[in-house]
Chains A and B, each alone.
Chain A
Amino acid sequence: MALNVGDKVVFKIFRYDPEKDKAPYYKDYEVTITRTGMMVLDGLNQIKWEQDPTLTYRRSCREGVCGSDGMNINGVNTVSCMSHIEDYDSNVLVIKPLPGFPIIKDLVCDFEDFFNKYYVVKPYLIEKTPPPGRERLQSIEDRNKLNGLYECILCGCCSSSCPSYWADPDYLGPSAMLNAARYVFDTRDEGSDERLDAVNNVHGVWRCHTILNCISACPKELNPTKAIANLQKEILKRKY
């Protein structure tokens, strides 16, 4: 559906302020298209700045790299700053906080559990041998193995889209495991054994049921399911 400047779109937004609301509710706002290529974040800003300053959401870089504004738009998780309003092909956009995360206020959820799970996989280079005086060498081919892994922006869209993540409060989730893979498959890293130990359990790689929601949710077009499958293969390879 092509939208023209001046057209109106309804944003039906999940609202909840713990200081005054007994229960969450949805509120409708009319957003005016002011330029072609307008993003959902531009619409939210228009509401906040011109209609209702109480509307609450996170935002920062407005270009899809900081990961602040993960949310659920018409049923799909994504970052609002890189989502064109017209791509939803609808006069109404239903906007909710990331599913499965505790809600702080309106579209803002609590990421503490999400980050704690990220820390579990030791998302940093582990070295056993002292590095050389210069940079470690890594072939272009080996470096390319990190493509599709290192670009994660920790927006939470994947984990929050995963039914296994909703069902099992201890499940590490696709984001944490993609970040585990980022170091397991880095030829410079020497901590893969301990990292694989951290994910080799029923709340780790074996909880993934290849539902594949994470893939469609990732705004960076990464593939956490594949990363988890590669971790599973790596665990089996080392064991047998």
Chain B
Amino acid sequence: MADINVRIEEFDVVIVGAGGAGLAAAVQTGLAGLKTAVISEVYPTRSHTVSAQGGINAALANMDEDYWIWHMYDTVKGGDYIGDQDAMEFFTKNAPKTIIELEHWGMPFSRTEKGTVYQRAFGGQTRNFGESLAHRACAVADRSGHAILHTLFERTLRSDIAPYVSYYSEYYALKLLMNEEGHAMGIVAWDMVNGGVHIFFSYAVIFATGGNTRNFRTNTNAHVNTGIGWTLCAKAGIPIKDPEFIQFHPTGIYGVGNLITEGVRGEGGYLLNAQGERFMKKYAPHVLDLASRDVVSRGMAQEIREGRGVGPKKDHILLKLDHLGHDFIMDKLPGIWELAYKFVGVDCTKDPIPVQPTAHYHMGGIPTNIYGEVIKWEGDKEVPIPGLYAAGECACASVHGANRLGCNSLLDLVITGKQSGISAAKWIREEKPVFPNPPEEYVADKYAKDVIDKLNELFDGPEGTVKMDEIWEDLRDTMQHNMSVFRIEEGIKKQLDIIDGYFEKFKNVGLTDKSKVFNTELVEYFDLESLLYVSKLETAAALNRTESRGAHYRDDYPERDDANWMKHTAAYLKEDGSVELDYKPVRTKPLTAPTFQPKKRVY
């Protein structure tokens, strides 16, 4: 038997993930004086928040008149009316003070002539309920994600927080521990550097594991975005809300998928088909290229489908921005200049960038309420799970409904991250729960036996007859083919069978690398397993939803169907590996604002 070390530690709070949401939560638990462990597969500044470019929305009104209610309206409409409006109100109302707080913490925002925070236009953002374009995205050139991630990390290094927050970088979470009463009680993780199992017992667990679109051929995600938060929660019996809503960003770089910010279009860039036509005027006559992302991606995909795509394969679209001028591009969009130049050899001050709709973001996720508490449903009633919280992209409040607006994700991660930290601290301080550390001996045998058995099996077992790469490459192609911008019953059904086939194949995957020190093959094994579960949840939910809403478009059901489908999916992963679907009401009542009633979505 492989000799697997086990270490046990106790914390008040364990945060899984050190991207923007995890760090925003750590700031709060640290300020509350709670002993906090932040465990992450990578160093905090390597988390994928770093790749966000365009900005973070808030009705600061630095460029022109703006109010949170306008921001809320855009968010409700952008989400195709299935978002939870209490969460959307909380989210948009708190946005301005969140930006101010980040500025106070040192975030190096670009500035206006007056010295205030610079804001740019972005897709789906309007003034006065759709009347004209809003400038709402607070930007740090086109490196807003990098700036926000570093600012939040730096905030945790200050002396009021640093003593309380311990970083466990390069630890990979493998199991969520729940006690018999259904309370969260900790995390079992793999120590990647030293090898060995590390059990973190805690009052509270906060998931902030980010996105998971590495299962698509072209995606904007980092290698680490494999949905481990979804998988651990789903395995613990927690449903995943709305997994079918996957955002395809209109402008991933053709062939490689790296993100080109919507800020390019916000600053005046536009899309062209093979005939040099600004085709978005057909799909969004009022705001053209600045319609919300689902609309633009579908427009592009439609052009390609009808033979007006660019290139020898007629499979992409051009993004023109050279008319903005060299100096402007180098000042406001230097990062995308570098990406286009490096990845496709295009100098975008002279030539257009080849782009295609690219898997980008999950609107759905671990179900939460506005307090960042993970909930379960008793009938239609939402009941918080004691000690369990989630924030950022892995969670679903749902502030994005069926389609997220650009620059609402950075806002989501700071606001829900902060709120989850505040809620965890409040629960521990006020409710004074009993610490879940089990007093009995052989703790590892009781709580981590399945994990240790699995690790032993991998380290002692054969190299396997199937290469992971074979499954992974195939998965990306088939998901791209069957679960993309346009979906149809036949394809989705086929994809479900295909995924079951991958699970069969996966049983024959083993490790070649038997070293316990920094075993990245082991990590990729769990990454792939997680992506198979994620794919299964997404596909099963997509098959059932026989309507088109937001990012979920069905060729066979092209209309939104409010009578039957104004409801959230709750997708449960059963022990036999099957997915069971249930449907739960949308929280249509905001906290104070009147409900925005569903209308036809026109941009």
**A interface, CB within 8 angstroms of B:** 17-20, 35-37, 48-50, 52-54, 56-68, 82, 84, 104-106, 108, 111, 115, 119, 122-125, 127, 131, 133-140, 143, 146, 150-151, 153-154, 183, 186, 188-189
Could you list 10 examples of A-B contacts with CB < 8 Å? A48-B520, A53-B513, A64-B338, A66-B48, A106-B518, A134-B116, A135-B103, A137-B114, A139-B111, A150-B140
B46: chain A residues at CB < 8 Å are 58, 60-61, 66-68
Is B468 in the interface zone, CB < 8 Å from A? yes
Q: Which of A52, A63, A143 contacts B108 (CB 8 A)?
A: A143
Interface bin, chain B: 35 or more
Q: How far is the CA of A105 from the CA of B170 in the complex (A)?
A: 14
Complex formed: what's the CA distance from A186 to B147 in Å? 14
Do A65 and B146 touch (CB < 8 A)?
yes
Interface residues, chain B, with chain A CB atoms under 8 Å away? 42-43, 45-48, 50-51, 99-100, 103-106, 108-117, 140, 143, 145-147, 150, 154-155, 157-158, 193, 222-224, 255, 258-259, 335, 338-339, 342-345, 467-469, 472, 511-513, 515-521
Query: In the complex the two chains form, is B517's CB within 8 Å of A105's CB?
Result: yes
A108 to B468 Cα, complex, angstroms: 22
Nearest CB of A to B106, in Å: 3
Complex: how many Å from CA A119 to CA B158?
10
Which 10 pairs show the lowest CB-CB distances between chains A and B? A125-B106, A137-B115, A124-B154, A49-B469, A54-B513, A135-B103, A66-B46, A53-B512, A105-B518, A131-B104
Chain B residues closer than 8 Å to A122, beta-carbon distance: 157
Q: How distant is B548 from chain A, measured CB to nearest CB, in Å?
A: 32
What is the bound-complex CA distance between A124 and B116, given in angstroms? 21
- Are the CB atoms of A82 and B512 closer together than 8 Å? no
Does A186 contact B108, Cβ atoms closer than 8 Å? Answer: yes
B145: chain A residues at CB < 8 Å are 65
In the complex, the answer to whether A17 meets B517 with C-beta atoms within 8 Å is yes
11 further contact pairs, Cβ within 8 A, besides A57-B520, A62-B223, A150-B108: A17-B515, A19-B515, A36-B345, A48-B521, A62-B258, A105-B518, A124-B158, A134-B100, A150-B143, A153-B45, A154-B45
Chain A residue at minimum C-beta to C-beta distance from B146? A65
B193 surroundings in chain A (CB, below 8 A): 104
Residue of B with least CB distance to A20:
B515
Does B106 lie within 8 Å of A65, measured CB to CB?
no
Chain B residue at minimal CB-CB distance from A152? B150
B469 touches A50 (CB 8 A): yes
B228, chain A: closest CB distance, angstroms: 14
Q: B521 contacts A54, CB within 8 Å?
A: yes
Chain A residues closer than 8 Å to B116, beta-carbon distance = 134-135, 137
Smallest CB separation, A42 vs chain B (Å): 9
Contact indicator B154/A125 (Cβ below 8 Å): yes
Residue of A nearest to B105 (CB): A125
Let me know if B51 and A66 touch, CB within 8 A: yes
Chain B residues with Cβ below 8 Å from A138 are 111, 115
Complex partner residue of A135 from B117, B158, B345, B472, CB under 8 angstroms: B117
Which residues of A sit under 8 angstroms from B100, Cβ to Cβ?
133-135
Which single member of B99, B146, B158, B520 contacts A153 (CB below 8 Å)? Answer: B146
